[in-house]
């Protein structure tokens, strides 16, 4: 998906606006003032720039973001607390689903034969558990 940096709205702009209207959380694009801060992870050596960051508030947001990524064939990264030192929580040119705003949530997503489970995602601290399992 290529986004026009000019002033003329593109189909991608319309699709992103539609996604933003379907979710309770935020859709953050590279031109947003908070983009550089939000895309950072704990390992400062990792400097990747996704096309979109979706900060989910609930399970419905996660489902909408996954469906959007599937529709537009975007690389998808899942970010919990941003603690993965290898940088797997962020990618270049795809979508990052940021679960850090979801607290105490349980989600099960299934797409064909693939399923995932998210339990209490978000910033990890003592007594909290963050997990994403892909069978």
How high is the mean pLDDT of the chain? 76
pLDDT of residue 88: 84
- Closest alpha carbon to 56 in 102, 87, 8: 102
Residue 70 has pLDDT above 70, yes or no: yes
Would the pLDDT of 97 be above 70? yes
Give the side-chain half-sphere CA count within 13 A for 5: 4
The CATH code belonging to domain 11-124 is: 3.30.43.10
Neighbours of 126 (CB within 10 A): 4
Among 35-44, 71-80, 95-104, 111-120, the least confident range:
111-120
- Its pTM surpasses 0.85: no
What is the domain partition of the chain in residue ranges? 11-124
């Amino acid at each position: 998906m290529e986004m026009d940096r000019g002033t003329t709205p593109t189909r991608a702009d319309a699709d992103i606006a539609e996604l933003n209207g379907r979710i309770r959380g935020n859709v953050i694009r590279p031109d947003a003032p908070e983009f550089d801060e939000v895309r950072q992870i704990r390992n400062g050596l990792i400097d990747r720039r996704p096309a979109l960051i979706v900060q989910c508030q609930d399970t419905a947001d996660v489902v909408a973001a996954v469906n959007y990524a599937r529709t537009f064939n975007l690389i998808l990264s899942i970010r919990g607390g941003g603690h993965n030192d290898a940088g797997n929580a962020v990618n270049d040119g795809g979508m990052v689903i940021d679960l850090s705003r979801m607290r105490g949530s349980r989600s099960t997503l299934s797409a064909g034969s693939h399923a995932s489970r998210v339990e209490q995602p978000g910033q990890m601290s003592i007594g909290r558990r963050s997990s994403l399992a892909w069978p």
